Amino acid sequence: MIEKTLKGKPAYWIWLAFLGMFMAIGAACYIRQYNFGLGMTGMSRDVSWGLYISQFTFLVGVAAGGVMLVLPYYIHNYKEFGRITILGEFLAISAIVMCMLFIMADLGQPMRALNVILHPTPNSMLFYDMCVLLGYLFLNILCGWVILTAERKQVKPPKWIYFFVYLSIPFAVSIHTVTAMLYCGLPGRHFWLSAIIAPRFLASAFAAGPALIILCCIILKRVAGFDAGKKAMNKIVTIIIYAALLNMFFVGLEFFVGYYSNIPGHKFALEYLFFGIEHHGHVYNNLVPFMWAFVILAFGAIGLLASPLAKLKDNDFFLGLGCAMLFLAFWLDKGIGFVLGGFVPNPLHEIVEYVPTANELAITAGVWATGFFVLTLLYKIAIGVEHEIE
Amino acid sequence: MNKQRRKFLKIAGVSALAGIGAPALIKLSSSSAVASSGGQEAAAGHGAATAAAGHGAAVEAPQGVRLGMVIDMRKMAEVPEQLDNAIAACISAHNIPEFPDKKNEIKWLWKAPFENVFLDHSSYHSSTRVANTPFPALCNHCDDPPCVRACPTKATFKLAKNGVVAMDFHRCIGCRFCMAACPYGARSFNWQDPRPYIKKYNADFPSRMMGVVEKCNFCGERLALGQEPACVEACKGTGAITFGDLNDPQSEVRQVLDNEFTIQRKTNLGTKPSVFYIV
């Protein structure tokens, strides 16, 4: 089936070349970082994780989000999703590829990465994160490939694959739960030390992941003549709306606990993220615009997706706009605010702000481009098979 | 033919997977991996001292050695320059690079105001002496260290023989999970090659490479030679820093603890720090 990636219209090759350019720039910038050290980034002693880890955290969610298509189809036998579960599985693969690359980019000694396997440490959440991410990657490759092959031959998928399909559902939940546990089990980081982190991660993942799938479907309809079907899209929109509302509810709960209890540690980071903090005569408010953009975009997107505009039969514009807004909103929330906000204040109650460097941004863009490159190839295969059997 | 090839591929694939997975499984099931959470006997012993010190747990007879430190700020304030001497001694003993900027900063022992070091203690109307004296901050060599729990490679670990939280600079992958986990901000990362910034090279202690985390090691290398930690030696004679075995009722550090009211940093987090302060 891989041969399907080798034939395409000029637009396909231009798109791949466009992504390839970012990948090349990212790779060159990574070589610079590899030689000089992570001092090439904006990270510091006080904000010791930056854009790489925050992108990783967000993308684990995107990977987990695919399960919102797999679960209704395989557990509830919701036939409308039959054509697009493969899109969810392939999105998960490319999202995990990005996660792995971001982790590698963030390591101070990447050549020693295998130490995590050579010296397995069951008390470290990172060890479990590696296990579940690799497991989920393997499951999606296996299930995606076997089911697509069966579809191509127009036979039923072998029975044994269903074991792995069902297994992939708890794995999807586990990857984001364990990623949340990286943060919420750390003493002394009040913003992260909250039991709502894992549910909040899952809620935003189950909104952002499917939102990206809808965007992909809209694009595929235009460029590849692949129609996912209006009924399936509307069902995904319903899922997105509920998940997004849950995420906003959970954010609101964080505000309640912080401000009603009035415990400084619980509200400090929220205050910093949403309102800015004045500390020893200096105002720190770098992230305030991002956080309000998150709130406005999220509620705007929910409103738009819930309105009849998103269900128009012959116009996908509002549906696409709503999904793009929602994806961006939750990227701002989890891919920017959550990780960076947790480092303010530092353990000695000092405030240091983080600004990524150009080199760091180029590497980040390169990893995203790599993910979309992989996604494009995988979707090319999936759509190719669809067209072949038609 | 085709069928046979498929069968061969299946077997080859499974054996390759098993080959990759086996070392990890063997390591996990061996006793040394389990002991990483503290060494059963030693952990119980170390815990006992702090349990008695006010966590309300049952008092057990302390076993083993647990090194700790009492910093007497009254005596520190009498000779203010001794803290600078201690920091300088620490820097030269451990080849700590001195970067001009805060971003790259590496510090094992450093100065900070009371209100920053003791966030849980009120600094509202604190005495002039406390408000004006810089407090030393360093790794607390916790009895239950969150950094050790977080490390995915056991590059940081608690030594069973004396309770010191140590580092293996050669195993550290530089993920900085320990930096996020430490509630005391005691850990630093080598964002770039530190060697050009080492003012005076000490051949008795290794310098670090870029991309690894480092922190105070309670001068494990000096203890092995029967010497005191560099900062303790720099403050010798004034009694500002007392160092010794917290589990030994006869030790000097225990004499001080028995006679004075001391505080520790962020005890509500359950880390059981081994550094005490007399304010």
Nearest chain A alpha carbon to B106: A45
Between the alpha carbon of residue B16 and those of residues A9, A135, B2, B19, the distances in Å are: 39, 16, 21, 5
CATH code, A203: 1.20.1630.10
* The pLDDT of residue B44: 40
Domain of A219, in residue numbers: 10-389
* The pLDDT of residue B29: 56
- The verdict on a CB contact (< 8 Å) between B27 and A119 is yes
Domain of B104, in residue numbers: 39-278
Helix (H) or strand (E) holding B273: none
* The pLDDT of residue A224: 86
Same domain? B224 vs B244: yes
- Tell me how many domains chain A contains: 1
User: ∠ at Cα A235 (A231, A236), nearest 5°?
Assistant: 120
- Least CB-CB distance to A116: which of B37, B173, B192? B173
pLDDT tens by residue, B164-179: 999 999 999 999 999 9
A381 located within any domain: yes
* The pLDDT of residue B51: 41
pLDDT tens by residue, A276-335: 999 888 999 999 999 999 999 999 999 999 998 888 777 889 999 999 999 999 999 999
A224 located within any domain: yes
- The verdict on a CB contact (< 8 Å) between A37 and B271 is no
Q: State percent of chain B over pLDDT 90.
A: 72
Residue B250 pLDDT exceeds 90:
yes
How does residue B33 score in pLDDT terms, banded at 50, 70 and 90? very low
* The pLDDT of residue A80: 87
**Beta-strand (E) ranges in chain B?**
67-72, 109-112, 135-138, 156-158, 165-167, 188-189, 213-214, 241-245, 275-278
A3 located within any domain: no
Same domain? B219 vs B81: yes
How does residue A26 score in pLDDT terms, banded at 50, 70 and 90? very high
Same domain? B68 vs B206: yes
Residue A257 pLDDT exceeds 90:
yes
A5 located within any domain: no
Same domain? B201 vs B134: yes
Q: Does A107 touch chain B (CB under 8 A)?
A: yes
Please provide the average confidence, as pLDDT, over all residues in chain B: 85
Residue B138 pairs in a beta bridge with: B109
Same domain? B5 vs B121: no
Residue B53 pLDDT exceeds 50:
no
Same domain? B15 vs B118: no
Average pLDDT, integer, range B231-258: 94
Q: Does A131 touch chain B (CB under 8 A)?
A: no
Residue B243 pairs in a beta bridge with: B69
Strand B165-167, strand B156-158: pairing? antiparallel
* The pLDDT of residue B43: 40
Residue B161 pLDDT exceeds 50:
yes
Q: Is the peptide bond before A345 cis (omega within 30 degrees of 0)?
A: yes
A325 located within any domain: yes
> Looking at CA atoms only, how far is residue B269 from chain A in angstroms?
6
A363 located within any domain: yes
Rounded distance between C-alpha atoms, residue A283 and residue A86, angstroms: 48
- Least CB-CB distance to A37: which of B117, B176, B191? B191
Q: Which is nearest to B68 in space by CA: B262, B215, B225, B236? A: B262
How does residue A230 score in pLDDT terms, banded at 50, 70 and 90? confident
- The verdict on a CB contact (< 8 Å) between B146 and A187 is yes
How does residue A229 score in pLDDT terms, banded at 50, 70 and 90? confident
pLDDT tens by residue, A326-372: 999 999 999 999 999 999 899 999 999 999 999 999 999 999 999 99
Same domain? B187 vs B127: yes
Strand B275-278, strand B67-72: pairing? parallel
- Least CB-CB distance to A187: which of B104, B105, B271? B271
* The pLDDT of residue B21: 63
- Least CB-CB distance to B189: which of A45, A125, A342? A45
Average pLDDT, integer, range B43-68: 55
pLDDT tens by residue, B189-204: 999 999 999 999 999 9
- Least CB-CB distance to B28: which of A45, A122, A183? A122
> Looking at CA atoms only, how far is residue B227 from chain A in angstroms?
31
Give A37's contacts in chain B (Cβ within 8 Å). Answer: 190-193, 210-211
* The pLDDT of residue B22: 63
> Looking at CA atoms only, how far is residue A40 from chain B in angstroms?
8
Could you tell me the pTM of the whole model?
0.89
- The verdict on a CB contact (< 8 Å) between A115 and B104 is no
Same domain? B19 vs B55: no
Q: Does A347 touch chain B (CB under 8 A)?
A: yes
CB pairs under 8 A between A and B: 158
- The verdict on a CB contact (< 8 Å) between A187 and B269 is yes
Q: Which is nearest to B78 in space by CA: B112, B129, B116? A: B129
* The pLDDT of residue B190: 96
Q: Does A45 touch chain B (CB under 8 A)?
A: yes
Q: Does A182 touch chain B (CB under 8 A)?
A: yes
A133 located within any domain: yes
- Tell me how many domains chain B contains: 2
Average pLDDT, integer, range A241-263: 95
Same domain? B95 vs B222: yes
pLDDT tens by residue, A31-69: 999 999 999 999 999 999 999 999 999 999 999 998 999
CATH code, B175: 3.30.70.20
Same domain? B29 vs B153: no
Average pLDDT, integer, range A183-212: 94
Residue B261 pLDDT exceeds 70:
yes
Same domain? B8 vs B114: no
Same domain? B63 vs B86: yes
